[in-house]
Amino acid sequence: MEYPLWQLATTAGGFWIALVSILHVYVAQFAVGGGLFLVLTERSAYKRQSGDLLEYVRKHSKFFLLLSMVFGAVTGVGIWFTIALTSPQATIVLIHNFLFAWATEWTFFLGEIVALLVYYYGWKRLSVSQHLAVGWIYFVFGWLSLFMINGILAFMLTPGQWLETKNFWDGFFNPSFWPQLWFRTFICLMLAGLFGFVTATRIPNPDLRARQVRICSLWTLVGVALMFASGYWYLHSLPAAQYQLIAEKSARVGSFMQYFLALGPLVLLGGLALGFRLPRAVSFPLALLVLLAGLGLTGSFEFMREAGRKPYLIWDHLYSNSILKAQVPAINAQGMLKTAKWVRPDLREITEDNRAEAGAWLYELQCSACHSRDGVINDIRPRSAKFTTEGMDAFLSGMGAANPYMPPFAGTDEERRALAFFLTGVLHPRPSAPEAALIPDKTPDTPEFDAQESEYVLLAWARQGMRLVSDTDRWILPPPGSTLRAQLFRRDSAPEAISDGVEISFEALDPLPPKGMNGVLKYGEQGYFEASGIPVLPYETGGGYNPVPVFKVTARDAESNEVLAETLAVLPASTRMGCMNCHGAQWRDERNGAGISESVAGDVLAVHDRRNRTDLAARAASGAPVNCRSCHAQDSGGLELSAALHGFHAAYLSGRESDACALCHPLDLQRDPHKDAGITCVNCHGTMENHALSLLKAETGAGRDAAVQTMARISPRDMTLEDIEPRKAWKQQPDCLTCHEEFAAPGTDTAANIWVEDAAGLYAEGKGDMGAVLCASCHGSPHATYPAMAERDNLQPLQYTGEAQVMGASGSCTVCHIDEMEDAAHHPGMGLE
């Protein structure tokens, strides 16, 4: 940052540039087309020997002089004034590279001024031929001025080979030079006709007025038609990234595109109506209305062109916040506050005491060029209101990738967090939410088990160690529906798995809503009893939050109804998905810090609609909840749900470890001994980037183009993309034996990127060497294996062994075997000693 900042909190610098520039562009382009309109109309007046038409041209020239030269010159100087103050870095780049182009343009502009003054004051002083010649000179100088300015404006959008060569001619005659030149030339013709409508209404002779209105209509119609034809050429001359931003991707551009496409036909219809239906009845208000439509058409194009440069002022060279792209690596290494020359010395090191003020400076340096505070353009306050500090930090991480129209944050991680704190904690101070307990303290007593007398042992567990549940009525991702599994064994020297003649039922012990909280497990050919779709939510009837509710599972003789065995199992469910961090900063249940509030659910759908041009928010508002898997399933046309979610959010959560997972997944998800040992999500599933890429690579194999586009925004960590093994969500997970080779103590601390072949190899489906006992029967649920961190997860080993341990550990095989075991029958390394 070489220059001090002009701080414009209410308007932001971009507002003044847009306001002054668009007004000047209106006038400057009218000056070109209007010059041609003047000289051709004057020539027609002499040819027809029409004094009335000549008088019209003379009066029109006065209006033209005041508008194009006086107002145009003032706004032209105003552009230099505003860009020099609000965007000095871009201004100096343009001056250094196009000094002689500017000088040439100023020479042409001086020729315009002199010619127009001579033309206006020469009506009675010059001969007809001399006066017409001066008119033609003015038009030529005007168009040459447009020619020179066009090269510089087009350069900012498509610098082309200049990025490598820094050659003047490569920058000036850039890829979009010619299509934009003709596009703007035809706009000039259209504006000449539109302004001609307004002045033609003052012609007193009705016949002449009608004729002139028809001529103005012809100028307008030809200009609009050729403008749309050259606009198609212009749009397709853009590089792919800018074409997608304008034509396909950006909702911000899309709104102006809609105005452009709507106002074009409106101007055409207005020109047709005035020229062929209402030439005699045309009035000043009606002509002005058509003119305003034309100005709106031109203005919407200018906004699209500006938006097509995002996130740059000069594409691929200078970001919209005046940071040179080449400087970003050094800024990231050293820090923005240490690099920017005009920062106060006491803010160059961030401390707890100056964090808010440092964040405010970072906002001015990186955000204020485009965002106002409580102002009229891109007001940052409502845009940041829906984020928590953690969510804003993630959003800032994704700028430039997931949000390609915004520059990437430049600076250190500490500076990014300071800016996030300013945008949330300072602009939106909120009381700290009370910390809700993750696991209830109260634990029920376990059923009795006598290792000498009990004939049966009943083992039960949840298929998922923590099921994430959406409790909003707006969308389904995923719905409540826990799965409880159980195995019943007759204790003996060689225990027998019981499959028939028994009924295994379940009922909730904790005070959960009663509907669906009891039922019967059915035996399946997989070798266990199962009840699925149990609608467990973590809310107790008394208002408490309980993510690990306890269920009593009972096995009875099917004929006598005699109780054979009982045990307790938890069916974990959590509504603490972190959507609120970025979509509303509000829990549904604020007291317990849980649930998807209606505002959060609505914002999720609104963001999806904006980015994907869907209508999910309207559908949900009409009472039709959106089932995310209706589009995001393995057999649908869209990306599979896990691939879509992780792929999209990976751009926001790159460069992190397990804190990336914790931003969206609840803290109570992992409760097993791996956590105590420092083994986190990334050890098994990989970093967020690699985790997402593995899912997306599998989607590319299914022929989904969206996967390739999403992958382009993600860079792999510590390996190449080719090294990342594709996997299918929920069917391919890490293999326990990657770390526990031959069931021994871990030989490594990472299992990521080595996936089981299919769903049969998942831990949740795995069985021991003897083929009857499931791994989860003895080891517990995934993410909550024994000995788990919470006593509720250890209820079964406490019931059967008296210790929080794996079944069979420390000589506890007598849970099922009535005799002491000497050999590890189920798998090696069972710890029988």
Please check whether residues 267 and 379 belong to one and the same domain: no
pLDDT average, residue stretch 685-689: 96
Q: Nearest-CA neighbor of 190 among 218, 214, 220? A: 220
**pLDDT beyond 80 at 691:** yes
Strands 482-490 and 496-498: antiparallel
Please check whether residues 336 and 299 belong to one and the same domain: no
pLDDT average, residue stretch 344-352: 94
Please check whether residues 295 and 328 belong to one and the same domain: no
Residue 606 is classified by DSSP as H
pLDDT bracket for residue 282 (50, 70, 90): confident
**Where residue 282 sits, what CATH number does that domain have?**
1.20.1630
Q: Nearest-CA neighbor of 831 among 811, 815, 816, 805? A: 811
**pLDDT beyond 50 at 104:** yes
| pLDDT above 90 coverage of the chain, percent | 65
Q: Is 318 helix (H, G, I), strand (E, B) or coil?
A: strand
Whole-number pLDDT of residue 85: 84
- 296: amino acid identity, one letter: G
**How many helices (H) and strands (E) in the chain?**
30, 16
Q: How many domains does the chain contain in total? A: 2
Q: Which of 318, 334, 350 is the last residue of a domain?
A: 318
Task: Specify if 641 maps to a domain.
Answer: no
Please tell me which residue, 735 or 432, carries the higher pLDDT value.
735
List pLDDT tens digits, range 13-65: 778 888 888 888 888 998 999 999 999 999 999 999 999 999 989 988 998 89
List pLDDT tens digits, range 609-645: 988 889 999 999 999 999 998 899 877 778 999 999 9
Spell out the residues 6+ positions from residue 433 whose beta carbon is closer than 8 angstroms to its own. 587, 590, 593
pLDDT bracket for residue 522 (50, 70, 90): very high
pLDDT bracket for residue 357 (50, 70, 90): very high
Please check whether residues 246 and 115 belong to one and the same domain: yes
Q: Which of 303, 318, 333 is the last residue of a domain?
A: 318
Task: Name the CA dihedral angle for 496, 497, 503, 509, rounded to a multiple of 10 degrees.
Answer: 110
From CA 293, how far away is CA 220, in angstroms rounded? 12
Whole-number pLDDT of residue 622: 93
Task: Specify if 354 maps to a domain.
Answer: yes
Task: Specify if 161 maps to a domain.
Answer: yes
Whole-number pLDDT of residue 671: 92
Whole-number pLDDT of residue 436: 59
Q: Nearest-CA neighbor of 461 among 786, 790, 825, 818? A: 786
**Where residue 327 sits, what CATH number does that domain have?**
1.10.760
**Segments in 87-127 forming alpha helices (H):** 88-121
pLDDT average, residue stretch 321-334: 95
Task: Specify if 545 maps to a domain.
Answer: no
Please tell me which residue, 253 or 368, carries the higher pLDDT value.
368
Q: Is 319 helix (H, G, I), strand (E, B) or coil?
A: strand
Whole-number pLDDT of residue 547: 94
Please check whether residues 101 and 63 belong to one and the same domain: yes
Structure tokens at 191: 């504006």
Q: Say how far residue 354 (Cα) sits from the centre of its chain.
A: 30
Which helix (H) or strand (E) is 555 found in, with range?
Answer: strand 550-557
- 668: amino acid identity, one letter: D
From CA 347, how far away is CA 809, in angstroms rounded? 57
Residue whose token pair is 């869209």: 638
Please check whether residues 81 and 214 belong to one and the same domain: yes
Please check whether residues 95 and 160 belong to one and the same domain: yes
Task: Specify if 673 maps to a domain.
Answer: no
Structure tokens at 445: 């007593």
Structure tokens at 451: 């290792």
Please check whether residues 213 and 82 belong to one and the same domain: yes
pLDDT average, residue stretch 235-263: 76
From CA 648, how far away is CA 755, in angstroms rounded? 22
From CA 83, how far away is CA 369, in angstroms rounded? 11
Task: Specify if 627 maps to a domain.
Answer: no
From CA 584, how far away is CA 604, in angstroms rounded? 9
**pLDDT beyond 70 at 833:** no
| pLDDT above 70 coverage of the chain, percent | 97
pLDDT average, residue stretch 278-287: 77
Whole-number pLDDT of residue 4: 63
Structure tokens at 560: 């006598």
From CA 594, how far away is CA 586, in angstroms rounded? 9
pLDDT average, residue stretch 312-326: 94
From CA 131, how far away is CA 125, in angstroms rounded? 9
Residue whose token pair is 């919407």: 300
List pLDDT tens digits, range 124-157: 999 999 999 999 999 999 999 999 999 999 999 9
Q: Is 831 helix (H, G, I), strand (E, B) or coil?
A: coil
Residue 300 to residues 24, 151, 266, 377, Cα–Cα distance (Å) = 15, 20, 14, 16
Whole-number pLDDT of residue 26: 87
From CA 239, how far away is CA 316, in angstroms rounded? 12
Whole-number pLDDT of residue 832: 44
Burial annotation 97-128 (CB, 10 A radius, 16+ → b, else e): bbeebbeebeebbebbeebbebbbeeeeeeee
Residue 658 to residues 468, 653, 699, 733, 812, Cα–Cα distance (Å) = 17, 10, 24, 17, 35
Please tell me which residue, 742 or 755, carries the higher pLDDT value.
755
pLDDT average, residue stretch 566-579: 95
Q: Is 371 helix (H, G, I), strand (E, B) or coil?
A: coil
Please check whether residues 292 and 366 belong to one and the same domain: no
Say if CB 13 and CB 86 are below 8 A apart.
Answer: yes
Q: Is 187 helix (H, G, I), strand (E, B) or coil?
A: helix
Domain that holds residue 402: 323-426
Please tell me which residue, 97 or 702, carries the higher pLDDT value.
97
Q: What angle do CA 387, 390, 394 make, to 5 degrees?
A: 85
List pLDDT tens digits, range 765-788: 999 888 899 999 999 999 999 999
Residue 500 to residues 282, 486, 529, 703, Cα–Cα distance (Å) = 92, 13, 10, 45
Whole-number pLDDT of residue 386: 96
From CA 111, how far away is CA 101, in angstroms rounded? 15
Structure tokens at 19: 């306001």
From CA 280, how far away is CA 131, in angstroms rounded? 31
From CA 610, how far away is CA 617, in angstroms rounded? 10
What does 693-742 look like in DSSP terms, one character per residue? HHHHHHHHHTT-HHHHHHHTT---SSS-GGGSPP--TTT--B-HHHHSGG
Spell out the residues 6+ positions from residue 605 whose beta carbon is closer than 8 angstroms to its own. 474, 475, 616, 617, 620, 626
Task: Name the CA dihedral angle for 785, 466, 707, 157, rounded to a multiple of 10 degrees.
Answer: -120
From CA 385, how far away is CA 584, in angstroms rounded? 7
Please check whether residues 355 and 273 belong to one and the same domain: no
Task: Specify if 684 maps to a domain.
Answer: no
Whole-number pLDDT of residue 502: 98
Average pLDDT value over all residues in the chain: 90
Q: Say how far residue 698 (Cα) sits from the centre of its chain.
A: 22
Task: Specify if 294 maps to a domain.
Answer: yes
Whole-number pLDDT of residue 563: 97
Q: Nearest-CA neighbor of 463 among 774, 797, 803, 788? A: 774
Q: Is 86 helix (H, G, I), strand (E, B) or coil?
A: helix
Say if CB 433 and CB 365 are below 8 A apart.
Answer: no
From CA 769, how far away is CA 772, in angstroms rounded? 8
Whole-number pLDDT of residue 3: 64
Please check whether residues 403 and 355 belong to one and the same domain: yes
Q: Beta strands of 155-259 (E only): which ranges? A: none
Q: Is 208 helix (H, G, I), strand (E, B) or coil?
A: helix
pLDDT average, residue stretch 553-566: 97
Residue 285 to residues 201, 216, 291, Cα–Cα distance (Å) = 9, 16, 10
Whole-number pLDDT of residue 518: 96
Burial annotation 414-438 (CB, 10 A radius, 16+ → b, else e): ebbbbbbbbbbbbbbeeeeeeebeb
Please check whether residues 138 and 222 belong to one and the same domain: yes
List pLDDT tens digits, range 157-214: 999 999 999 999 999 999 999 999 999 999 999 999 999 888 888 888 888 888 988 9
Q: Which of 271, 289, 318 is the last residue of a domain?
A: 318
pLDDT average, residue stretch 92-101: 94
**pLDDT beyond 90 at 455:** yes
Say what the pTM is.
Answer: 0.89
